[in-house]
Amino acid sequence: MRILSVVGARPQFVKLAPVAAALAEAGHEHVIVHTGQHYDPELSEVFFTGLGIAPPDERLAAGSGGHGAQTGAMLTALDPVLSRHAPDWVLVYGDTNSTIAGALSAVKLHLPLAHLEAGLRSGNRRMPEEHNRVLTDHAADLLLAPTPQAVLNLEREGLADRTVLVGDVMVDACLHAREQALARTEPEPPAPGIDPSQPYLLATIHRAENTDDPERLGEILTVLAALPVPVALLAHPRLRARAAEYGLELAQGAIRPGAPQPYAQLIAAVTGSAGVVTDSGGLQKEAYLLGRPCTTVRSETEWPETLTGGWNTLIQAGDPRFAETVLRPQPVTARGEPFGDGHAAARVVKELERAAR
Ligand code: UD1
């Protein structure tokens, strides 16, 4: 079989790694198409080298822009590439603009489409990721769901006959990286000015709803700066750009800004931390898998399983309980395996083989 993966943004490279390894092991041909949505080396290249993924076979140059312009640029560039490779499956990942572009291109070219991480729902129709998820699920021929909750969501939308539960490939990636992190003797500082042998918190903020509103971003930074523990703030380029635009200082009080980290270093940094503050979907789950309390700066999550036992707590910027939520004691409730057992990628390959036309 020839499988063509469309990826473009940081979390998709993480999901691609175990899938690429499983496809190679099963002897399938795998074409990797990088849309160019993320182009800075720290958001793109380091994931390919760090996770041992072969360089992309095709590099498009979609770059940044408004949703329509960015998605449109990808579509224009994807059509001839997908036609030329004529794969047995086009595989799209997660919920970014690269996902919906890959999905639309495949459907219009009558190529079989599989969606990895299908069925997630935040219920928030203002999130670009929610549009991307829902539309991709309804376009796809095969829905690879990571959790029983995702399966339920798809059943509710009448998509049961195309859905299979495979588990979450992020678990495969995370557990693999944790082994590497544990094997390392000297922990590295996750950001300049952080002593990894002392307690610290790990923070990332990159979602438009938080970064693109000066008042909200200011409130988040004020709370983080006043915490009694140092905060390693791994700053996405969007956060840096918006903070500079609004005249907000990242390096204030307890905050120690640093660069986004390659995946293995990120997993080591979560493992070494006392807790996580984030608006990322993936990091909520990584904190859960690694047993670190997470505070998510959003009003909803598409990973509700992480909320069990207080391991993850949602809080809005400006809520007076923000600091006390971040500083709550470590939960004691057992976490279980709601995201699968770390062998999801092998199941993905089996399902692609089974459902091939
Ligand atoms: C995208 C995804 C989001 C995912 C995130 C992971 C969409 C709608 N959103 O958000 O779901 O959680 O990736 O990081 O697809 N920029 C750079 N260098 C880069 C890429 C982006 O500086 O390599 C800056 C540009 O100013 C750009 C901004 O970041 O305008 C936003 O980038 P974009 O790709 O639109 O979305 P993300 O915020 O990264």
Give the model confidence (pLDDT) of 119-137 as tens digits: 999 999 999 999 999 999 9
| Ligand 1 atom, smallest distance to 98 CA | 15
In the chain, where the domains are located: 2-168+340-356, 177-326
Is the pLDDT at 274 greater than 80, yes or no?
A: yes
For residue 259, report the distance from its CA to the centre of ligand 1, in Å. 15
pLDDT tier, 184 (very low <50, low <70, confident <90, very high otherwise): confident
Ligand 1 pocket: which of 7, 47, 122, 236 to mutate (most atoms <8 Å of CB)? 236
Give CA–CA dist 259/237, Å, rounded: 9
Protein residues with CB under 6 Å of any ligand 1 atom: 9-11, 37-40, 43, 64, 95-97, 128-129, 206, 237-238, 241
pLDDT tens digits for range 141-164: 999 999 999 999 999 999 999 999
The partner residues of 59 in beta bridges, in order of sequence, read 34
Write the residue with the smallest CA distance to atom 14 of ligand 1: 10
**In the predicted model, what is the mean pLDDT of residues 260-281?**
95
Q: What is the mean pLDDT of the chain?
A: 96
| Ligand 1 atom, smallest distance to 128 CA | 8
Q: pTM, whole model, 2 decimals?
A: 0.95
DSSP code of 127? -
| Ligand 1 atom, smallest distance to 94 CA | 11
Ligand 1 pocket: which of 14, 15, 206 to mutate (most atoms <8 Å of CB)? 206
For residue 156, report the distance from its CA to the centre of ligand 1, in Å. 30
**In the predicted model, what is the mean pLDDT of residues 55-64?**
96
Q: What is the pLDDT of residue 254?
A: 98
| Ligand 1 atom, smallest distance to 95 CA | 11
For residue 176, report the distance from its CA to the centre of ligand 1, in Å. 26
Two tokens, residue 318:
């400006």
Q: What is the pLDDT of residue 183?
A: 81
For residue 183, report the distance from its CA to the centre of ligand 1, in Å. 32
**Residue range 177-326 in CATH 3.90.1200.10:** no
For residue 200, report the distance from its CA to the centre of ligand 1, in Å. 26
Is the pLDDT at 251 greater than 90, yes or no?
A: yes
For residue 158, report the distance from its CA to the centre of ligand 1, in Å. 31
**In the predicted model, what is the mean pLDDT of residues 11-26?**
98
Write the residue with the smallest CA distance to atom 13 of ligand 1: 9
pLDDT cut 70: percent of the chain above it? 100
Give CA–CA dist 131/67, Å, rounded: 11
* Complete DSSP assignment for 221-260: HHHHHT-SS-EEEE--HHHHHHHHHHT--SS-TTEEEEPP
Tell me the CA end-to-end span of the chain in Å, nearest whole number.
11
Write the residue with the smallest CA distance to atom 30 of ligand 1: 64
pLDDT tens digits for range 312-330: 999 999 999 999 999 999 9
Q: What is the pLDDT of residue 244?
A: 98
**In the predicted model, what is the mean pLDDT of residues 53-69?**
96
**Residues designated catalytic:** 206
For residue 186, report the distance from its CA to the centre of ligand 1, in Å. 32
pLDDT tier, 357 (very low <50, low <70, confident <90, very high otherwise): low
Is the pLDDT at 181 greater than 90, yes or no?
A: no
25-30 CB contacts, 8 Å cutoff, 24+ apart = 25/346, 25/349, 26/349, 26/353, 28/1, 28/2, 28/3, 28/349, 28/352, 29/1, 29/2, 29/3, 30/2, 30/3, 30/4, 30/5, 30/54
Q: What is the pLDDT of residue 187?
A: 81
pLDDT tier, 180 (very low <50, low <70, confident <90, very high otherwise): confident
Write the residue with the smallest CA distance to atom 6 of ligand 1: 10
| Ligand 1 atom, smallest distance to 238 CA | 29
**Could you say which architecture CATH assigns to the domain 2-168+340-356?**
3-Layer(aba) Sandwich (3.40)
